[in-house]
Amino acid sequence: MTNSDRVNFGSRIGVILASAGSAVGLGNIWRFPYEAGQHGGAAFILIYLLCVLFMGMPVMISEFLIGRRSRANTAGAYRILAPGTPWRWVGFLGVLTGFLILSYYSVVAGWTLEFIVEAGTNSFAGKTAPDFSASFASFLQKPVLPVIWTACFLLLTHFVVVRGVKKGIERSSKLMMPLLFILVIVLAVCSVSLPGSEKGLLFLFRPDFSKVTSDVVLGAMGQAFYSLSLGMGCLCTYASYFSRDTNLAKTAGSVGVIDTCVAVLAGIIIFPAAFSVGISPDAGPELIFITLPNVFQQAFAGVPVLSYIFSLMFYILLALAALTSTISIHEVVTAYLHEEFHLSRTRAATLVTAGCLLLGAACSLSMGVWSDFTIAGMNLFNLFDFTTTKIMLPLGGMLICLFTGWYLDRRLVYAEVSNEGSLKVRFFRAYIFLVRYVAPIAIAGVFLKEWGLF
Ligand code: PHE
């Protein structure tokens, strides 16, 4: 396939919704609240915002310009822009990271389907806190059911990706994202209106810097990359379908704002509801699968129908958010196989789905029957989460900055960000300064500190 045969997204809103769909996901609604909950709420959020601004935004613009300039999958992009150099490894690293993330992400995404069914069949009714924790533990111990849900989620993703960029990715984002925004806002309003919710808001917005350690900073940085889908060529792949007149910086700004708003709104859904029934929000990854169903039950104890609707809407929201993200990760690997190995799109997607299903099944079992098998003290699921989020994504982000800041010709970078000079780019010098120095040094600093070398 030549580069000019490639399909583009059909509209500006399609570009924004697809990219925001990639960014908004379990990272915002599952990961962000428990990371914030464990790391002191507002102080974590503040550091997170700084990471988004000074590392996330420059990396996103860089991914956009690499993708649109090369009009290729992420591995192909480096081959085209830096032929014959080791930079191509950055592309491969991205594809590998995508493959690993998709494998364990689909497991959690699969749980959301189980919870939609449980919420829909009203099986949360009458349960108490220990019941929720016992029933989630017994669900994870089952060898087959969680794997089936993982497979279902991967198949849903597969069918969208196979339909292609315009009919699959763009159309599904245009359908799902508005629904997602409505659900987030309705749920946040309901949560804030509960009696006693102020404590949750205070937790979310009043910083306690005594909890800030280097671990918190690493966590916030990893979370920023993860939540914005950066560091593995995901937005680079999407940008290869942008048209020549897409304003890259503006699109990056919109995606950053949407993603951050949804994360904060997820906090506004979860913390006020949790505090209103006196439950601590620092439960960790199981927060939304054990703590929350219980919170929803108690918060609307007088009106069971409200508990029912609230829970069902919440898990539908979670599944939608996860789906728009799995689609984008799947696309990275599919586009790579499709373009680099000249496989048909369907065949490429099938390989990705099958491979992720195998690894995903292993991750799923590692939370239950295989939990005794650990590497460096972590089961497979946690190992994948840790290595991808805390190492591979920030490392990928740093390399992407070095590539645009130091390797690419400055005129090429300017031409791409300014749409060949047709846009005024007032922030260009600041951008170059950030990608050359600030972002790579900050990422390296956090790494060194974390590994005890600094
Ligand atoms: N950004 C997604 C989320 O917040 C996860 C993701 C990571 C998607 C990396 C693509 C690439 O859930």
Domains of the chain, CATH where assigned: 3-450 (1.10.4160)
Identity of residue 212: V
pLDDT of amino acid 454: 61
- The protein residue whose alpha carbon is closest to atom 9 in ligand 1 is 229
- Tokens found for residue 38: 């464990």
Torsion of Cα atoms, 278 then 281 then 283 then 289, to 10°: 90
Nearest ligand 1 atom to alpha carbon 23: 1
Distance 170 CA to ligand 1 centre (A): 17
DSSP label of 231: S
Nearest atom within ligand 1 for CA of residue 259: 4
CA of residue 227 to ligand 1 center, whole Å:
5
**Protein residue with its CA nearest to atom 8 in ligand 1:** 229
Tokens 């009106």 locate to 303
Per-residue pLDDT of the chain (454 residues; tens, 9 = 90+): 545 567 899 999 999 999 999 999 999 998 898 888 888 888 999 999 999 999 999 999 999 999 999 999 999 999 999 999 999 999 999 999 999 999 999 999 999 999 999 999 999 998 888 898 899 999 999 999 999 999 999 999 999 999 999 999 999 999 999 999 999 999 999 889 888 889 989 988 888 888 788 878 888 988 999 999 999 999 999 999 999 999 999 999 999 999 999 999 999 998 888 888 887 777 777 778 888 888 888 888 788 899 899 899 999 999 999 999 999 999 999 999 999 999 999 999 999 999 999 999 999 999 888 888 888 889 999 999 989 988 999 999 999 999 999 999 999 999 999 999 999 999 999 999 999 999 999 888 877 876 666 6
User: What spacing in Å lies between the alpha carbon of 23 and ligand 1's midpoint?
Assistant: 5
Using most ligand atoms within 8 A of CB, pick from 107, 328, 333, 393 the residue to mutate for ligand 1.
328
What are the residues whose beta carbons fall under 8 Å from the beta carbon of 418, sequence distance 6 or more?
Answer: 424, 425, 428
* 304 Cα–ligand 1 center, Å: 34
What is the CA(298)–ligand 1 centre distance, in A?
Answer: 31
Q: Which amino acid is at 206?
A: R
Containing 439, the helix (H) or strand (E) segment is helix 439-450
CA nearest neighbour of 23 among 328, 407, 251? 328
Report the pLDDT value the prediction gives residue 22, as an integer from 0 to 100: 97
In the reported structure, the alpha carbon of residue 384 is separated from the centroid of ligand 1 by a whole-number distance in angstroms of 14
Supply the pLDDT for residue 2: 47
Cα dist from 274 to 268, 294, 332, 399, whole Å:
10, 9, 37, 40
How close is the Cα of 391 to the center of ligand 1, in Å? 15
Ligand 1 center to residue 100 CA distance, Å? 12
Q: Cα dihedral angle (7, 9, 11, 13), rounded to 10 degrees?
A: 180
Residues near ligand 1 with C-beta < 6 Å?
A: 22-23, 25-28, 101, 226-227, 229, 232, 234, 325, 328-329
Considering only CA atoms, which residue is closest to atom 6 of ligand 1? 229
Q: What is the pLDDT of residue 276?
A: 84
* Single-letter residue type at 132: F
Tokens of 384: 């994948």
Looking from the CA of residue 32, the nearest atom of ligand 1 is 4
Q: What is the pLDDT of residue 415?
A: 97
Distance from Cα 229 to the centre of ligand 1, integer Å: 4
Closest ligand 1 atom number to CA of residue 321 = 12
Residue nearest to atom 10 of ligand 1 (CA): 229
Could you give the CA distance from residue 24 to residue 320 in angstroms, rounded to a whole number? Answer: 10
